[in-house]
């Protein structure tokens, strides 16, 4: 099994950023050496903290797929960067042009500044600084209506960029995404674990997770606070826990891990 998980609103509580309710499943994943790959809109600087706190030695996907970080030697070769990532400075100049052309009411991270980010997210100033340490994506706080958000998204697409919705922000970036990053990592795992029957699982709560949820064998849709529909295309299985955040994360992962253990013991019995 390989597990790909969103952080905010999924493994972490949407408001308190706590993950304690997921502790039982996290411990079991560790015990069984199942890779847990964090796939987030957060920056690499922020994910480094969670890598340490959660004691993970696996790749992480930052900035909604625009940044992939693989520990040295993990796949035995060099990790590839997403080819279509666009540098933040370039994203900002396109954003400024679009915002002034249409007169959208919105504020990007670089306009909010560290104290504005702290105010809007409830993060400490230090954490807000880490959140602003970005390479290839720009979060935008939307203060305009939904129809105008769609107009904004189309304007970005016509300029060769992408715009996805996270729990709190719109994220502007190049043609990179969580789905592309997860596929890239699944290919890398297939090379180091040839011939293995590996089940891929992904967990997410928001529309920016939909691509990722549709490329793994099992998709776990955590109830979100955004009110947008979460229709997942194509995976073999979709689990929808009733609890939000880390409690729902834990319930879904525990049932998948128990099933896996069940199939192991059946195999043993069948094999005599």
Q: Which residues are catalytic?
A: 6
What whole-number distance in Å separates Cα of residue 107 and Cα of residue 109? 7
**Residue 46 interacts with Mg ion (CB under 5 A): yes or no:** no
The size of the chain, in residues, is 272
Nearest Cα residue to 210 out of 147, 143, 162, 258: 162
Q: Which long-range contacts (CB under 8 A, 24 or more apart) does 183-187 make?
A: 183/215, 184/68, 184/80, 184/82, 185/4, 185/37, 185/59, 185/61, 185/68, 186/2, 186/215
Nearer to Mg ion, 64 or 98 (CB): 64
Question: Which of 2, 3, 5, 6 touches Mg ion by CB under 5 A?
Answer: 6
What whole-number distance in Å separates Cα of residue 7 and Cα of residue 260? 24
The answer to whether 239 and 271 are in contact (CB under 8 A) is no
Instruction: Give the nearest distance from C-beta 248 to Mg ion in angstroms.
Output: 12
Question: Which of 2, 3, 4, 9 touches Mg ion by CB under 5 A?
Answer: 9
What whole-number distance in Å separates Cα of residue 251 and Cα of residue 97? 45
- How many CB atoms within 10 Å of residue 165? 18
Q: Which stretch binds Mg ion (CB under 5 A): 5-13, 100-108, 180-188, 241-249?
A: 5-13
Nearest Cα residue to 60 out of 50, 9, 174, 177: 50
Instruction: Give the nearest distance from C-beta 18 to Mg ion in angstroms.
Output: 14
Nearer to Mg ion, 6 or 46 (CB): 6
Nearer to Mg ion, 26 or 206 (CB): 206
Question: Which of 8, 13, 63, 107 touches Mg ion by CB under 5 A?
Answer: 8
- Which parts of 158-187 interact with Mg ion (CB under 5 A)? 167
Q: Which stretch binds Mg ion (CB under 5 A): 2-10, 76-84, 140-148, 154-162?
A: 2-10
Nearest Cα residue to 62 out of 51, 46, 85: 46
**Residue 206 interacts with Mg ion (CB under 5 A): yes or no:** yes
Question: Which of 118, 182, 205, 232 touches Mg ion by CB under 5 A?
Answer: 205
Structure tokens at 47: 């994910």
* Residue whose CB is nearest to Mg ion in the complex, by number: 9
Nearer to Mg ion, 166 or 189 (CB): 166
Q: How many residues belong to the site for Mg ion (CB under 5 A)?
A: 6
**Residue 211 interacts with Mg ion (CB under 5 A): yes or no:** no
Positions that interact with Mg ion (CB under 5 A): 6, 8-9, 167, 205-206
């Amino acid at each position: 099994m390989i597990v790909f998980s969103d952080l905010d609103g999924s493994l972490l509580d949407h408001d308190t950023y706590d993950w304690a309710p997921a502790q039982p499943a996290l411990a079991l994943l560790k015990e069984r050496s199942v890779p847990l790959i964090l796939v987030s809109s957060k920056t690499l600087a922020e994910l480094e903290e969670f890598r340490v706190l959660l004691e993970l030695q696996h790749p992480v996907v930052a900035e909604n797929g625009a940044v992939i970080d693989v520990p040295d030697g993990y796949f035995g070769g060099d990790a590839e960067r997403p080819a279509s990532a666009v540098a933040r400075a370039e994203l900002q100049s396109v954003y400024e042009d679009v915002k002034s052309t249409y007169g959208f009411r919105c504020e990007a991270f670089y306009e909010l500044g560290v104290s504005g980010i702290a105010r809007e997210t409830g993060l400490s100033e230090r954490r807000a600084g880490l959140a602003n340490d970005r390479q290839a994506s720009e979060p935008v706080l939307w203060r305009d209506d939904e129809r105008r958000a769609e107009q904004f998204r189309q304007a970005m697409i016509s300029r060769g960029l992408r715009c996805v919705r996270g729990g709190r922000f719109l994220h502007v970036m190049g043609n990179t995404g969580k789905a592309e990053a997860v596929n890239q990592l699944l290919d890398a795992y297939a090379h180091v674990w040839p011939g293995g029957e590996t089940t891929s699982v992904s967990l997410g709560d928001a529309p920016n997770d939909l691509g990722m949820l549709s490329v793994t064998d099992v998709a776990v849709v955590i109830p979100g606070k955004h009110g947008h529909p979460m229709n997942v295309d194509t995976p073999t299985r979709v689990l929808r826990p009733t609890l939000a955040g880390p409690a729902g994360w834990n319930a879904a992962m525990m049932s998948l891990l128990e099933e896996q253990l069940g199939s192991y013991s059946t195999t043993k019995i069948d094999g005599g």
